[in-house]
Chains A and B, each alone.
Chain A
């Protein structure tokens, strides 16, 4: 298997699995218990919290609240901010957010909130002047992702934070799910108030996430009960998962592998764009403005689903658009927002490289693709257009 879908999820790191194992066997206590076993669990959870805080550059571990996933973190952040500012009914976000943010905002539009959806250009980049103009005195929340899950385009979080603070008192929420572990992050030097992360994107298991809540930000609790997470999010701590997230965070922070992953991505991307005249990159060509592991490429006049099926048959796993879209047949909202025409959007494939990919795997992928693309080009109903390449 050649796994090139790391933005969908990542393999649990062997070190993470080893760290978790004792907590799935003899170390099984409840961190809230008063006895020695409970205290030991509590220490393990707090150690994990420190690791996540260090990875994100939080001022203190108390700014990290554990959740079950990135979607929970995003939902809580958005609804919590709005609930704590009942007089402000305006939200600013972008047209290319992940569903966890976009769909909440859509629901809120039906609940009498007004949402401004800031646009992106053909490179997938934001216009800061458009953002500035969108801010109002009644803007409760600005929610803008750090890295786009589909194209890997990075939004300038630092600058955005400054623009928001200059203009308004809106709370700044960032869906950081795709960026954590891939690029360095230092939240204490920014104006970010709330920041969501998801464990399974950085080689921890699924089922664990976190929300960074800047000291001083008050967020109402929705899951109430036993008072865990300092009363902010109830539910018995999922100790094995939290230990896993802590171990994964430590690995990500100490990891100096980022440039190797970037080289693999660069080799794959350049190889594809050179080999296929009908291949186009989605997102800015400036690689410093994209995640180092992601490559969204459209093959014009053929269908992405078919490309994926052929690669799948060869044991190579990728996505079309983002994983969330695969069950519907709609084209990706991110590509639509970038004004990518249908003939390109329908043929898009997302390659996302990870820690465990090798140069050999990239070579194999580049070797396998030509026959697949040629077969689909031959089958295409757009013969005239293809001949112009």
Chain B
């Protein structure tokens, strides 16, 4: 492991090692195959952007450098942007110039991040006390908006709902809730499996 490439840089000088200040949301991920373990914690500010991101991990160079890069990249980004980054591990793998043997290491890092975002999202939904129920925290979409779109356009799948109003297109933690709404508002002929 020599040289000044990105992987070596982030492995030997990892950024953001530690735990985010409270209140924070922590995502954990682990592998039974290689025994690696990671946790990534984030803090969200009032604008719903990531104000702090830290990690701790025991694992190989690919895992450590992935977590270092991810925690750096998501600073000041929205959870929607961070979720998009977490859901494209192949891009990160390419950036590190590693092949598919290491894809599960990058995946583990991304899983830890996505889990952290989803934890925030669940908590944000619970704490929300606005007039309308909040369903999608990544794109800030209310229950009323989603219901209106489903009824007006005759939507039947989560994908269609996302296309119409962004809901469910970020971390994905609200997708089961959207499915419930589709189920409740559907016509008599549709099956649940048609809605995904």
In this assembly, does B12 line the interface, its C-beta being within 8 Å of a C-beta of chain A? yes
In the bound complex, do residue B17 and residue A303 qualify as a contact, i.e. CB atoms below 8 Å apart? no
Interface string of B107-134 (1 = CB under 8 A from A): 0000000000000000000000000000
Q: Given A312-B1, A313-B2, A378-B17, A330–B33 Cβ distance below 8 Å? A: yes
Which listed residue, A312, A345, A381, touches B38 by the CB 8 Å rule?
Answer: A381
Shortest C-beta distance, A385 to chain B (Å), equals 11
Which listed residue, A309, A312, A330, A380, touches B34 by the CB 8 Å rule?
Answer: A330
A63 to B69, CA, bound (A): 59
In the bound complex, do residue B1 and residue A305 qualify as a contact, i.e. CB atoms below 8 Å apart? no
A102 to B5, CA, bound (A): 38
Cβ < 8 Å to B, chain A residues 19-71: none
25 contacts between A and B (CB under 8 A): A303-B35, A303-B36, A303-B58, A305-B61, A306-B11, A306-B58, A306-B64, A309-B1, A309-B61, A329-B34, A329-B60, A330-B34, A345-B35, A346-B35, A346-B36, A376-B58, A379-B57, A380-B56, A380-B57, A381-B28, A381-B38, A381-B39, A381-B56, A381-B57, A383-B56
Query: A310 — which chain B residues lie within 8 A by C-beta?
Result: 12
A346 to B60, CA, bound (A): 10
Which listed residue, A312, A327, A330, A346, touches B58 by the CB 8 Å rule?
Answer: A346
In the bound complex, do residue A303 and residue B59 qualify as a contact, i.e. CB atoms below 8 Å apart? yes
Interface string of B11-43 (1 = CB under 8 A from A): 110100100000000001001011111110000
Shortest C-beta distance, A369 to chain B (Å), equals 16
In this assembly, does A144 line the interface, its C-beta being within 8 Å of a C-beta of chain B? no
In this assembly, does A222 line the interface, its C-beta being within 8 Å of a C-beta of chain B? no
Cβ < 8 Å to B, chain A residues 296-347: 301-303, 305-306, 309-310, 312-313, 327, 329-331, 342, 345-347
Query: B11 — which chain A residues lie within 8 A by C-beta?
Result: 306, 309
Which listed residue, A302, A342, A379, touches B14 by the CB 8 Å rule?
Answer: A379
Cβ < 8 Å to B, chain A residues 243-295: none
Interface string of A372-389 (1 = CB under 8 A from B): 000010111111000000
Query: A306 — which chain B residues lie within 8 A by C-beta?
Result: 11, 58-61, 64
Interface residues of B, Cβ cutoff 8 Å to A: 1-2, 11-12, 14, 17, 28, 31, 33-39, 56-61, 64, 101, 104-105
Query: A327 — which chain B residues lie within 8 A by C-beta?
Result: 101
In the bound complex, do residue A331 and residue B35 qualify as a contact, i.e. CB atoms below 8 Å apart? yes
A376 to B31, CA, bound (A): 18
A41 to B111, CA, bound (A): 63
Query: B28 — which chain A residues lie within 8 A by C-beta?
Result: 381
In the bound complex, do residue A313 and residue B1 qualify as a contact, i.e. CB atoms below 8 Å apart? yes
Shortest C-beta distance, A282 to chain B (Å), equals 15
Q: Given A313-B2, A313-B12, A379-B64, A329–B58 Cβ distance below 8 Å? A: no
Query: A331 — which chain B residues lie within 8 A by C-beta?
Result: 34-35
In the bound complex, do residue B56 and residue A305 qualify as a contact, i.e. CB atoms below 8 Å apart? no
Query: A345 — which chain B residues lie within 8 A by C-beta?
Result: 35
A379 to B2, CA, bound (A): 21
In the bound complex, do residue B17 and residue A379 qualify as a contact, i.e. CB atoms below 8 Å apart? yes
Shortest C-beta distance, B17 to chain A (Å), equals 5
Shortest C-beta distance, A317 to chain B (Å), equals 12
Shortest C-beta distance, B189 to chain A (Å), equals 48
Query: B34 — which chain A residues lie within 8 A by C-beta?
Result: 329-331, 346
A383 to B58, CA, bound (A): 11
Q: In the complex, what residue of chain B is closest to A330 when comparing beta carbons?
A: B33
A329 to B104, CA, bound (A): 10
Query: B101 — which chain A residues lie within 8 A by C-beta?
Result: 327
Interface string of A349-386 (1 = CB under 8 A from B): 00000000000000000000000000010111111000
In the bound complex, do residue B37 and residue A381 qualify as a contact, i.e. CB atoms below 8 Å apart? yes
Query: B1 — which chain A residues lie within 8 A by C-beta?
Result: 309, 312-313
Instruction: Select the residue from A303, A309, A342, A345 with max chain B CB neighbours within 10 A.
Output: A303
Shortest C-beta distance, B105 to chain A (Å), equals 8
Query: B31 — which chain A residues lie within 8 A by C-beta?
Result: 329
Give 10 A-B pairs besides A309-B61, A329-B105, A382-B58 with Cβ atoms closer than 8 angstroms. A306-B59, A309-B11, A309-B60, A313-B12, A329-B104, A346-B35, A346-B36, A346-B58, A379-B56, A380-B58
Q: In the complex, what residue of chain A is closest to B34 when comparing beta carbons?
A: A329
Shortest C-beta distance, B168 to chain A (Å), equals 30
Query: B35 — which chain A residues lie within 8 A by C-beta?
Result: 303, 331, 342, 345-346
Query: B33 — which chain A residues lie within 8 A by C-beta?
Result: 329-330
A85 to B15, CA, bound (A): 62
In the bound complex, do residue B59 and residue A305 qualify as a contact, i.e. CB atoms below 8 Å apart? yes
Query: B17 — which chain A residues lie within 8 A by C-beta?
Result: 378-379
Q: In the complex, what residue of chain B is closest to A302 when comparing beta carbons?
A: B58
Shortest C-beta distance, B159 to chain A (Å), equals 34
A313 to B17, CA, bound (A): 20
A277 to B76, CA, bound (A): 39
